[in-house]
């Protein structure tokens, strides 16, 4: 299916009803717009954000939860230390 719409002066577009139905969109849904390396625009329904998914999956029995914020901070600190060692500062 193809459709032509017009961009308003405030940057808004109207998504044609058939496309909204095909994507399963309803009023209030969010839409994720991305562009790939070839310059193609990809439009997808965005059902949840990462923040909304945080904590919805319980930890497996006998396993501790993973704190990704801590892992990211540690990885950043490690890479800074490695770079300082590479250039002979530490």
Q: What is the pLDDT of residues 29-75, one digit of tens each?
A: 889 899 989 999 988 898 777 677 777 767 667 766 667 777 777 77
Is 24's pLDDT higher than 70? yes
This prediction has a pTM of: 0.49
How many folded domains does the chain comprise? 1
Tell me, yes or no, whether 73 lies in a domain.
yes
**Residue-number span of the structural domain to which 74 is assigned:** 58-86
Q: Report how far residue 20's alpha carbon sits from residue 57's, in angstroms, rounded to the nearest whole number.
A: 30
Tokens matching residue 68: 């990704």
**pLDDT confidence of residue 54:** 72
Q: What is the pLDDT of residue 48?
A: 74
* pLDDT single digits (tens) 1-12: 888 999 999 999
With residues binned 3-state (H G I as helix, E B as strand, rest as coil), the percentages for the chain, rounded to 5, are 35, 15, 55
Strand partners, 46: 30
| Main-chain phi, psi angles of 73, to 5 degrees | -65, -45
Give a yes or no: residue 80 inside a domain.
yes
User: Does residue 77 lie in a domain region?
Assistant: yes
């Amino acid at each position: 299916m193809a459709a032509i719409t017009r961009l308003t002066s405030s940057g808004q577009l109207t998504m044609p009803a058939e496309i909204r139905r095909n994507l399963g969109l309803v009023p209030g849904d969010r839409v994720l717009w991305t562009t790939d390396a070839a310059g193609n625009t990809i439009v997808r329904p965005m059902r949840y954000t990462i923040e909304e998914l945080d904590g919805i999956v319980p930890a497996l029995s006998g396993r501790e939860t993973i704190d990704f914020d801590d892992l990211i901070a540690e990885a950043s600190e490690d890479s800074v230390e490695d770079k300082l060692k590479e250039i002979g500062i530490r």
